[in-house]
Amino acid sequence: MSDVIVIGSGAAGVCAAWPLVQRGLRVTMIDVGVTDQGAGAMIPAEPWSKLRRSDANQHLYFLGERFEGVPDGKVRVGAQISPPRAYVAADAPRLLPRDAPGFVGLESVAQGGLASAWGAAVSPWASEDLAGLPVTLEEMKPHYDGVAELIGVSGQAGDDLSAHLHDSPSMMPPLEMDTPSRAVFEAYLSRREEMKRAGLALGHARLAACSREHRRRGPQPYHDMDFWSDHGESVYRPRYTLRELLEAASFESVTGRLATRFESHASGVVVQAVDLATGRGERFEAAHLVLAAGALGTTRIVLRSLGKLGVRRPLVSNHSPYFPMLNTRVLGKESSDRRHSLTQITGFYRPGGAGAEAEPVQLQCYSYRSLLLFKLLKEVPLALANSRRIFQALTPAMSVLAVHHADEPSAEKWVSLEADEGVTEAGVPRDRLRIRYEATKEETQRQHRTEREVLGLFRRLGCYTLHSRAVRLGPGASIHYAGPLPMRASPGEMECDGECRLSGHPRVRVADSAVFARLPAKGVTFSMMANAHRVGTLLAGEIGGGA
């Protein structure tokens, strides 16, 4: 019997398992664990511009063998998930059924989960972001630092972002900015005091990406292929931690299993799972259970295990529109081919200016190139022959700004598990997650007002766009979810305590973002990983492992 079962091999699962395995505890990780079936392996380790000119097989990974990389219909959530990464979202709709009209969120049953395709932007929360949670920044700091060391984080220590983000001691120098973003950043630096007074702070992107060699990964090759391949392993993927975990004799990974429910007793836990190859049920026993199946996946398992069908639980998800911008400062300028594809600039904007009380929004500035021109042309309501020539000339001067808003729970944002008797042929329970998510009019108006203010400041930096041209993919599109099993000082039913123990089930802990009652504008993943590391560390302390 294991000491601990961890369900899920995503960012939360591997970070929770890490301190447990470091302490020599026997850990079994149960996961569906879908993996890449080949498209990624056929990409040569060359820069994007070289592959475009020389690789006769490029259509196989840029478009996919079945042309799955050619989007049909409206732009959808996860549009940046390329054919070699399609496995990340594959199978989830079948194994994790959902009835969620209007909610476009993604789930994953892949090895490494959603972070196998993530954008790697990391934003540690500050004290104000942790307000209301029964954990302080002081308690979180060692875990932010531990995770930063584990995954490799780069950024500029002591820059204007440091007022919003805590710098980890192991932070590597930032990745190089590409030419269009450098022009925006230089414009910001030349008007820095004015911008700071207006509430805007910009800096080099904080990324879970190695700018130098770190834990046998990196450095960043600057091939502009980060949406397609993992050559150089600069950008963090949970499978790298999984690889390290597998080196320990006390760690075991069991894949091809869909965990369906748990029972917890005074002396241990039993997890029921389906072997997806045979459709047969299986039981796993351990002293403790850590749930890390993604905020929605974990909620499904908890509600099913507790028999709470039809009970509404709160759900939050950041609203994150994208604005394509014309960056006039680089029109006609030479652009370097050496670049990475991830966010180039991280920023914060506090409505009302530097001293104001309002909560800041987070900004991410990207360039558009490696995702290919045809995807952009498809969205432009012009004849393709004309738009091709226009955008061939304009793309070197195009930037994309993402604005991430904080999200609060409300009566119109909830998730429940709806009963449906029996199982499918594959042994998968037929119940469905039902999601309803509607922001209030006031929330939406406030967000639009803030976005207009941000765009006004970016105009002063030479970047032009129209607020009406925003790409809004709908609720859930940020792929950041939280809220159903919140962590509270005095937890009620279906809530967790300050150490993320599920109320009434002291041997069951939740390590993913289901425990955060609200979401600040800063991306949730890094804080979730730090919290998962804290959960694993506290549990290791409680069990009292050897080494």
Partner 1 sequence: MTAPTSSATTTAGLREAEVFSRYLVGREASPALCERYLRAISVLNANPCDAGDAWALGMAIRWPWTIGPLDAACALRHPGWALRRRLVLLSAILEASTAHTDDYMPQRRGVGSVIAVCVVEGVAAVVNLAMGMLLLASAPREARA
Ligand X SMILES: Cc1cc2nc3c(=O)[nH]c(=O)nc-3n(C[C@H](O)[C@H](O)[C@H](O)COP(=O)(O)OP(=O)(O)OC[C@H]3O[C@@H](n4cnc5c(N)ncnc54)[C@H](O)[C@@H]3O)c2cc1C
Q: Which is nearer to ligand X, 11 or 148 (CB)?
A: 11
Task: Work out what residue 479 binds among ligand X, partner 1, none; the CB cut-off runs from 5 to 8 Å by kind.
Answer: ligand X
Stretch that binds partner 1, among 45-53, 97-105, 262-270, 407-415 (CB under 8 A): 45-53
Taking alpha carbons only, the member of 523, 513, 519 closest to residue 131 is: 519
The type of residue at 133 is: L
Instruction: Give CA 488 to chain center in angstroms.
Output: 23
Instruction: Write out the DSSP string of 470-494.
Output: -B---TTTT---B-SS-B-SS--TT
Task: Work out what residue 31 binds among partner 1, ligand X, none; the CB cut-off runs from 5 to 8 Å by kind.
Answer: ligand X
Q: Does 334 bind partner 1 (CB under 8 A)?
A: yes
Mark 33-72 with x for binding to ligand X (rule: CB under 6 A) and - for no binding.
x---------------------------------------
Question: Token match 């599920």: residue?
Answer: 502
Determine the Cα–Cα distance for residues 124 and 526; give it in Å rounded to an integer: 6
Task: Work out what residue 462 binds among ligand X, partner 1, none; the CB cut-off runs from 5 to 8 Å by kind.
Answer: none
**Does residue 501 sit in helix, strand or coil?**
strand
Residues 273-332, interacting with ligand X (CB under 6 A):
292-294, 297, 301
The type of residue at 152 is: G
Determine the Cα–Cα distance for residues 14 and 9; give it in Å rounded to an integer: 6
Taking alpha carbons only, the member of 537, 544, 542, 543 closest to residue 16 is: 537
Q: Does 42 bind partner 1 (CB under 8 A)?
A: no
Q: Does 225 bind partner 1 (CB under 8 A)?
A: no
Among 231, 378, 432, 518, binds partner 1 (CB under 8 A): 378
Q: Does 508 bind ligand X (CB under 6 A)?
A: no
Q: Which is nearer to ligand X, 172 or 482 (CB)?
A: 482
Among 396, 484, 486, 523, binds partner 1 (CB under 8 A): 396
Provide, rounded to whole angstroms, the least separation between the CB of residue 7 and ligand X: 5
Which two three-digit tokens encode residue 495? 């809530």
From residue 185, alpha-carbon distances to 5, 44, 237, 288 in Å are: 46, 32, 28, 49
Q: Which is nearer to ligand X, 305 or 387 (CB)?
A: 305
Provide, rounded to whole angstroms, the least separation between the CB of residue 8 and ligand X: 3
Taking alpha carbons only, the member of 299, 362, 313 closest to residue 512 is: 299
**Does residue 389 sit in helix, strand or coil?**
helix
Q: Does 361 bind ligand X (CB under 6 A)?
A: no
Task: Work out what residue 374 binds among partner 1, ligand X, none; the CB cut-off runs from 5 to 8 Å by kind.
Answer: partner 1
Among 18, 103, 118, 185, binds ligand X (CB under 6 A): 118
Provide, rounded to whole angstroms, the least separation between the CB of residue 56 and ligand X: 28
Locate all alpha helices (DSSP H) within 86-162, ordered by sequence: 92-95, 127-130, 137-151
Q: Which is nearer to partner 1, 72 or 421 (CB)?
A: 72
Which two three-digit tokens encode residue 152? 């490799």
**Total of residues contacting ligand X (CB under 6 A):** 43
Q: Which is nearer to partner 1, 42 or 372 (CB)?
A: 372
Which helix (H) or strand (E) is 174 found in, with range? none
Q: Does 392 bind partner 1 (CB under 8 A)?
A: yes
Which two three-digit tokens encode residue 116? 């196998």
Q: Does 72 bind partner 1 (CB under 8 A)?
A: yes
Among 21, 25, 32, 463, binds ligand X (CB under 6 A): 32
Count other Cβ atoms within 10 Å, centred on residue 5: 29
Determine the Cα–Cα distance for residues 455 and 401; give it in Å rounded to an integer: 9
Q: Does 169 bind partner 1 (CB under 8 A)?
A: no
Among 22, 35, 42, 49, binds partner 1 (CB under 8 A): 49
What percentage of the chain's residues is helix, strand, coil (to nearest 5)? 30, 20, 45
Q: Is 49 exposed, middle or buried, given 0-12, 13-18 or 19+ CB atoms closer than 10 A?
A: middle
- Binding positions for ligand X, rule: CB under 6 A: 7-13, 30-33, 78, 80-81, 106-110, 113-115, 117-121, 258-259, 292-294, 297, 301, 479-480, 512-513, 523-526, 528
